[in-house]
A and B are shown apart, each in its own frame.
Chain A
């Protein structure tokens, strides 16, 4: 699956969708495939603060654990609670229903374009 052009990316394989002052964050298909079948997610709670490139959650598959890096400073306004009962949604629809958190950001760092991210993952 191609990395959507309308999203921005981090080198830690997260995608970011900016809408107004809020950013929706997920992990890319590349990251989900590398992890394998996801069986557990630990996401930051609404109201908690995030710091750029600090670990704010965990995504666990049968074989390994991936860390979720906050792509920006801000405050979590919503976590995708549906994932706790069906974490496999991240594998099935990483750029859609498998989103992880929404952040009201205070500062936007430089993020990668789809083209730059493609280059990073060799696509």
Chain B
């Protein structure tokens, strides 16, 4: 199994581990609820070094990515980030990605750990069409640390002279943190303000320890369990749950990332059809009562219905809200307004659920 540069740190902190996409990753250090609340109320520190980093350069890097990905990459300013997807020819999702434009013809593409190789293969196939670009898999050259939560900026500011206030949401900059040259992005997967710090592999332990030291009791190391409940509350999809090779961006409720007006691109024809025909399934947010959560693959019924109308993709008792929340793929031919009464089959018992708007949780924006 692959290990991140922080593996020994996690062991020393007493983490429980899990295999995630072939990586040995901390699932929690102590209580995953405490870790979740720390991110909502203060700050949390995550090792996400398992994420894939692909560096794309060359005279036609922009042209190539615009062909390969569904969004308008050429429209990005230098230093800007974009959430996007790479789709296969039938319009299904190979992976969801964040693309950072580092220079005119230099990009950093961040892929999911488990899809890194599929993304590389898809890009290399496209490369055979003669685009002039270089693709370098830098996953094992970088450590990636996320600091997330309302106190992230104040904590990180203690270690850098870069004016963090001026680093906007979904942007990236070169910065020096604790004397180390890093890439600093204001992105995340928790629904809170925060940063993702790309650190040269050998310096990752140093930055992790420095952050924990200056963060003190305001900063808690957090595992993948908290990361999952945080992203669920924020209505963010997880590949393998809300996104897959069986699903188009439109079914996942993410049709807005597809830019048809940018000209021709891979999968455009199938995506155009997918975006204009009736959807087979549609992603909904649902909430329950009590404490029993409908989890992935549990079936959903209309209230009193005999046939299931879909399945849960991710579900948990929301630590922030106190009631169960889930995302579910439901029959696309049904138009289910907010408030529609449903039932989830929770291990043989029907429990009440209802359609709600996504996301379940949205942070208050304090200073714009």
Contacts and interface: CB of A to CB of B under 8 A. Distances in A.
A62 B347 contact: no
B16 A62 contact: no
Given A60-B293, A62-B229, A65-B347, A91 B317 contact: no
Nearest to A61: B32
A93 interface: no
Contact of B16 (A33, A40, A88): A33
Nearest to A40: B291
B192 interface: no
Contact of A40 (B33, B225, B228, B292): B292
B33 A37 contact: yes
A60 B298 CA distance: 15
A62 B295 contact: no
B316 interface: yes
Interface string B285-310: 00000011101000000000000000
A85 to B, nearest CB: 10
Contacts of B228: 63
A78 interface: no
A42 B292 CA distance: 9
Interface of A: 33-34, 36-37, 39-40, 42, 58, 60-63, 65, 88, 91
13 contacts: A33-B16, A36-B27, A36-B32, A36-B225, A37-B31, A37-B32, A39-B317, A60-B291, A62-B229, A63-B32, A63-B225, A65-B347, A88-B31
Interface of B: 16, 27-28, 31-33, 36, 225, 228-229, 291-293, 295, 316-317, 319, 347
Given A36-B28, A63-B228, A88-B33, 15 more contacts: A33-B16, A34-B16, A36-B27, A36-B32, A37-B28, A37-B32, A37-B33, A39-B317, A40-B291, A60-B292, A60-B317, A61-B32, A62-B225, A62-B319, A65-B295
